[in-house]
């Protein structure tokens, strides 16, 4: 089969002819119908985030059709539409037992530690596959498995309650889902902070209140719009010290600031005014959980989560075009969401 693989970090991905994967008794062979090209893949190709072993087929946002099932598979049959949870966990270590399988001691992310979805077929354990409702396209199903799932995990960890208010910092791939999922969770008002007009317009069309951070201090604006109360939940999806600080400052009494964007840089917090006096919390967010995916797929089925504004393009399974998309992602951040149709 054809697979687009990372041979060496810092070099373009290459097409290789490799055998169709063999499957174990509890595995599925899935014919890939859609594989999202994620910003993380650009980091893997560049070598800023490590991939092992090499060569490896990238692609962790995958949806397709069950082509073959292992002898012990009970929940799927040939022809089922499925999407794949990217974290393949052991199911019995300390963290898996707690339901925190993103920290599984032997967890392996597909497209990073095992061959991923930039290929015609992928092998996956049965327990990592989820039925994809007919109402959701393969393209949307694929990207739901990364950015949408992580946004939902962030809202869960921030313990968003119906009637509460939310501020979303960054209207990229994660933000578009975060706005819709916050409303689906019953948020009474969602503020969307960004600096680009196109993204703010998209946020407005999704029923968020847009705030342009290049025109005014978004924290002051949030305070003004909430009669100085601040929001209950702030999600930081950008990964910049400035926006992390803004997210913390924008929460009110008992507020929760959830940090999703990745940065190795420090940011400052004024303990008394920003945390202690409000009993506010800062929460770190890492990946998402298999148990969160059914709810996500149900909201996708109902149209409460609509990713039409996110998937901008589809491309064939060809190294040249995929490398070009990764170049674009490196240049413009998360502006484009491209999905491969093998």
Residue nearest to Zn ion (CB): 38
Binding of residue 148 to Zn ion (CB under 5 A): no
Please say which residue, 281 or 309, places its beta carbon nearer to Zn ion: 309
Strand partners, 193: 169, 211
CB 173 within 8 A of CB 147: yes
Size of the site for Zn ion (CB under 5 A): 8
Minimum distance from residue 96 beta carbon to Zn ion (Å): 3
Which one of the spans 141-149, 176-184, 189-197, 240-248 is the region binding Zn ion (CB under 5 A)? Answer: 141-149
Work out whether 37 is an interface residue with Zn ion (CB under 5 A): no
Tokens matching residue 47: 């070598």
User: What's the CA dihedral at 40, 46, 47, 50 to 10 degrees?
Assistant: 20
149 binds Zn ion (CB under 5 A): no
Using rule CB under 5 A, residue 321 touches Zn ion: no
259-272 burial string, b = 16+ CB within 10 Å, else e?
Answer: bbbeeeeebebeee
**Under rule CB under 5 A, residue 96 binds Zn ion:** yes
- Closest approach, Cβ 245 to Zn ion, in A, equals 26
Report if residue 223 touches Zn ion, rule: CB under 5 A.
no
Nearer CB in complex with Zn ion: 231/317: 317
Instruction: Give the chain's end-to-end CA distance (angstroms, integer).
Output: 11
To Zn ion, the closest distance from the beta carbon of 165 in angstroms equals 28
* Residue 104 found at the interface with Zn ion (CB under 5 A): yes
Q: Which stretch binds Zn ion (CB under 5 A): 145-153, 158-166, 218-226, 282-290?
A: 145-153
Q: Which stretch binds Zn ion (CB under 5 A): 75-83, 91-99, 278-286, 327-335?
A: 91-99
> From CA 259, how far away is CA 25, in angstroms rounded?
39
Does residue 93 bind Zn ion (CB under 5 A)?
Answer: yes
90 binds Zn ion, rule: CB under 5 A:
yes
Whether the CA torsion 71, 59, 306, 252 is positive or negative: it is: positive
What number of helices (H) and strands (E) belong to the chain?
10, 18
The smaller minimum CB distance to Zn ion, of residues 108 and 295, is found at 108
Residue 119 to residue 342: CA distance in whole angstroms: 7
Q: Give 152-166 as a DSSP string.
A: HHHHHHTT--TT-EE
What residues make contact with Zn ion under the rule CB under 5 A? 38, 40, 89-90, 93, 96, 104, 146
């Amino acid at each position: 089969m054809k697979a687009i693989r990372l041979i060496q970090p810092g070099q373009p991905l290459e097409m290789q002819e490799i055998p169709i994967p063999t499957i174990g008794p509890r595995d599925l062979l899935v014919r890939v119908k859609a594989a999202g090209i994620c910003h993380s893949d650009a980091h893997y190709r560049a070598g800023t985030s490590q991939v092992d072993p090499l060569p490896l087929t990238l692609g962790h946002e995958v949806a397709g059709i069950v082509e073959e099932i292992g002898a012990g598979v009970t929940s799927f049959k040939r022809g089922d539409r499925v999407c794949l949870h990217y974290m393949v966990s052991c199911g019995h270590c300390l963290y898996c037992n707690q339901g925190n399988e993103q920290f599984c001691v032997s967890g392996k992310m597909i497209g990073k530690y095992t061959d991923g979805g930039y290929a015609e077929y992928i092998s996956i354990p049965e327990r990592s596959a989820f039925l994809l409702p007919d109402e959701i396209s393969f393209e949307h199903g694929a990207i739901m498995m990364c950015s949408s799932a992580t946004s939902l995990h962030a809202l869960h960890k921030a313990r968003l309650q119906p009637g509460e208010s939310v501020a979303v910092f960054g209207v990229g791939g994660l933000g578009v889902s975060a706005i819709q999922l916050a409303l689906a969770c019953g948020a009474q008002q969602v503020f969307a902070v960004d600096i680009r007009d196109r993204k703010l317009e998209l946020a407005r069309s999704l029923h968020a209140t847009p705030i342009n951070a290049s025109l005014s201090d978004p924290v002051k604006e949030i305070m003004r719009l909430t009669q100085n109360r601040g929001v209950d939940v702030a999600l930081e999806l950008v990964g910049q010290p400035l926006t992390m600080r803004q997210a913390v400052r924008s929460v009110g009494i008992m507020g929760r600031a959830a940090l999703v964007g990745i940065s190795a840089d420090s940011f400052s917090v004024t303990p008394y005014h920003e945390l202690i006096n409000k009993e506010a919390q800062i929460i770190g967010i890492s990946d998402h959980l298999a148990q969160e995916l059914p709810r996500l797929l149900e909201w996708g089925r109902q149209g409460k989560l609509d990713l039409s504004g996110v998937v901008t393009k589809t491309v064939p399974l060809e190294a040249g075009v995929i490398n070009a998309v990764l170049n674009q992602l490196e240049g413009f951040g998360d502006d484009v969401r491209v999905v491969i149709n093998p």
